[in-house]
Structure 1
Amino acid sequence: MSKATRATKMLEQAGIAFTVHAYDYDPDADRVGLQAAEALGETPGRVLKTLMAVVDGKPVCVIVPSDHEVSMKKLAATFGGKSAQMMKPAEAERLSGYKVGGISPFGQMRKIPAAIEEQAMAHELVFINGGQRGLQVRLAPPDAAAALNAIVAPLVA
């Protein structure tokens, strides 16, 4: 496994401090984010999952704790829209340039508006996918938000 991905390169270029953590990815896991938290020995609230969604027909990137579900109503409101839905996996892979299970908000193929669940800001450090299945980057949540120019808002149900 390469520890240099588009995600890690983007963070390096932005001058953001992070560490890389590899783990055994389980392609059969029911919930990939929870499996990552368990494999890393971390609480699920510190391991954030990256989801691709659509608000009023426009793509968005959503980062929430792995043990929570996104509220579509809150997601739509965060981006000033009326409706939101999860993006189909094939479309998420095409837009992000990453495979499902390895989608990182960092270094995506094109700049997509992002939002981070406000609860994540309570942690000193969080884990976010590093652009490959079985690879996480650990960084300060404010740094992640700054790198993505993300909206910090209540997003979970």
Structure 2
Amino acid sequence: MSLQSVSDFLARHAPDIRIVEKDTSTATVAEAATAHGVEPAQIAKTLSLWLKDEVVLLVMGGDTRIDNRKYKDRFGAKAKMLNADEVQQWTGHPVGGVCPFGLPRDLRIFADVSLQKFEEVLPAAGATHAAVRIAPAHLAQLVKAEWVDVAQEQAQAPVPA
């Protein structure tokens, strides 16, 4: 049902975007990056969070983590993840397939600036083996996401001499 809700959403709002289904699991960032031949940072993971008494979605780079200080400064509360049953209930998607498309109810959606360094990112598409390829700006526009900066700074690898 979840894959179908994403398919229906895209057919209505972005018919040019196609769902890419794989024969193997893409439920984790590492699995998705390998299956799609991209770096983990390009996987757009969607986190389901309680923000006080409201559920929100946060789409961010696959190699990032929430910076608790930035998150609290931005939202005035500590980040608290939903459990697996709550994720399914609120998003209609299984853990590993959560995305901001085809939701059963309106939720506020935020996109972290960590996605903006790529021409294309790959969020899940409602199933643990499906994703879409989309420009970050198009993703944000399509789901009416607000851009935020709540990811931890990534340490830069030293440049060999």
TM-score by length of 1: 0.86
Which segment drifts farther, 4-13 or 123-132? 4-13
Distance 1:40-1:109 versus aligned 2 partners, 3 A rule = same
- Equivalents in 2 of 1:144, 1:15: separation in Å? 10
- Equivalents in 1 of 2:45, 2:59: separation in Å? 6
- Give the structure 1 partner of residue 148 of structure 2: 153
Offset, 1:17:
3.2
- Give the structure 2 partner of residue 71 of structure 1: 67
Is the strand fraction higher in 1 or 2?
Answer: 1
- Output the aligned Cα RMSD: 2.1
- Give the structure 2 partner of residue 144 of structure 1: 139
Identity of aligned residues (%): 22
Offset, 1:26:
6.3
1:42-57 counterparts in 2 under 5 A?
42-57=38-53
Offset, 1:16:
5.6
- Give the structure 1 partner of residue 57 of structure 2: 61
Structure 1 residues 10-66: Cα deviation after superposition (integer angstroms, max 9, x where no partner): 122113632322221067xxxx12211112111111111111001112101011111
Where in structure 1 do 4 or more consecutive aligned residues deviate above 6 Å? Answer: none
Offset, 1:154:
1.1
2:43 matched to 1:36?
no
- Give the structure 2 partner of residue 25 of structure 1: 25
Alignment partner of 1:37: what SS?
A: helix
- Equivalents in 2 of 1:72, 1:149: separation in Å? 24
Contact 1:55 1:76 (C-alpha < 8 Å) held by counterparts: no
Structure 1 residues 77-114: Cα deviation after superposition (integer angstroms, max 9, x where no partner): 44x33232111111111111111111121111111101
Distance 1:109-1:76 versus aligned 2 partners, 3 A rule = farther
Contact 1:34 1:67 (C-alpha < 8 Å) held by counterparts: no
Structure 1 residues 101-153: Cα deviation after superposition (integer angstroms, max 9, x where no partner): 11121111111101111121221111011111100011111111011111111
Contact 2:44 2:121 (C-alpha < 8 Å) held by counterparts: yes
Larger radius of gyration: 2
Alignment partner of 2:147: what SS?
A: strand
Contact 2:56 2:109 (C-alpha < 8 Å) held by counterparts: yes
